Amino acid sequence: MGLFDKILGKQKEEVQKIETTVTHKEKWDFYFINVDDKLSSIYLDLGLKNIAPIKSQPNVMWISIKMNNPREDGLSSQEESSKLFNIEDKLVDALKQKFDLTFVGRLTSDFKRDLYFYIGSSTLYEKTISETMVIFPDYQFDYGIKEDSDWGGYFDFLYPSPQQYQSIQNRLVVEQLEKGGDKLEKERQVDHWIFFKTDSDRETFLVKIKNEGFGIVLSDFDKSFGEFPYRLHIKRVDKVDLNSVDQYVLYLWNLANECNGDYDGWETSIEKE
């Protein structure tokens, strides 16, 4: 369990528990992170944030599967991925048929694939897991369950940090550009929008980026923007491959936070030639 187990052992602030009366729209995505100093991949349903914690599912259950053909860095290999997906599908389907539970995500790290569920009952699940894994006799596995009524494992371990979430958004935009036939390595104008609480915060931000080659497109005030009424629209010529985007967007994102601002996003044109 590693870090996940440590987090669940922490004292939590009281979180209001709600029933699933709010509409849940699944939003599955992934990101990379280091867990216990090991490269890891987390895949989760981001949409659960809007309804969690679910009062009727106060226990977190995990199933840890040892991979048979992992990559040298401990992540899953292309050769084994279809088998791992099949195991996951069989387990999720079998458990959903018998228990009130939610599959929230998985961690791939350290030569293992860990599946995480929030479940109502804390008993009888062992038989379903064992019966399902009989289909895969060449795979070693382990499982366990622990009370986690405020879903700390989901929010504090699986769910991305704000910066990681921004990186996910960057990747989604880049993927859309690729689908449009974009030549990502071609430099072009990239526009950014940042909002601030005060004009002074905006000016501090501008001073910090004055030597970074950004041009000001618009700097205005609009009270309809609420808590962040001071808008800044800047531009720069850049590549839009993911590594490049993460480098300059996360730079602006962090700098905006330092200046009490809110980095709202970026956009660019599709360049095919």
Q: What is the pLDDT of residues 195-208, one digit of tens each?
A: 999 999 999 999 99
DSSP classification of residue 197: S
- Domain range annotation of the chain: 3-158, 162-268
Share of the chain above pLDDT 70, in %: 92
List the Cα angle 135/140/144 in 5-degree steps.
Answer: 100
Question: Which residues have a Cβ under 8 Å from the Cβ of 172 and sit 6 or more positions away?
Answer: 29
- Long-range CB pairs of 162-170 (<8 Å, 24+ gap) are 163/250, 163/253, 163/254, 164/31, 164/33, 166/249, 166/250, 166/253, 166/263, 167/31, 167/246, 167/250, 168/29, 168/30, 168/31, 169/265, 170/242, 170/245, 170/246, 170/249, 170/266
For residue 270, give both structure tokens: 């599709």
- Where residue 138 falls among pLDDT bands split at 50, 70, 90? very high
| DSSP string for residues in 36-98 | TTEEEEEEEEGGGGGTPSBTT--EEEEEEEE-SS--TTSSPPHHHHHHHHHHHHHHHHHHHHH
4 has pLDDT over 70: no
Sheet holding 261-268, edge to edge: 215-221, 230-238, 188-196, 261-268
Q: What would the mean pLDDT of 261-267 be, rounded to a whole number?
A: 98
Least confident of 22-26, 187-191, 207-211: 22-26
Q: 162-268, what's its fold?
A: Alpha-Beta Plaits (3.30.70)
pTM to 2 decimals?
0.86
Q: Average model confidence (pLDDT) for the chain?
A: 93
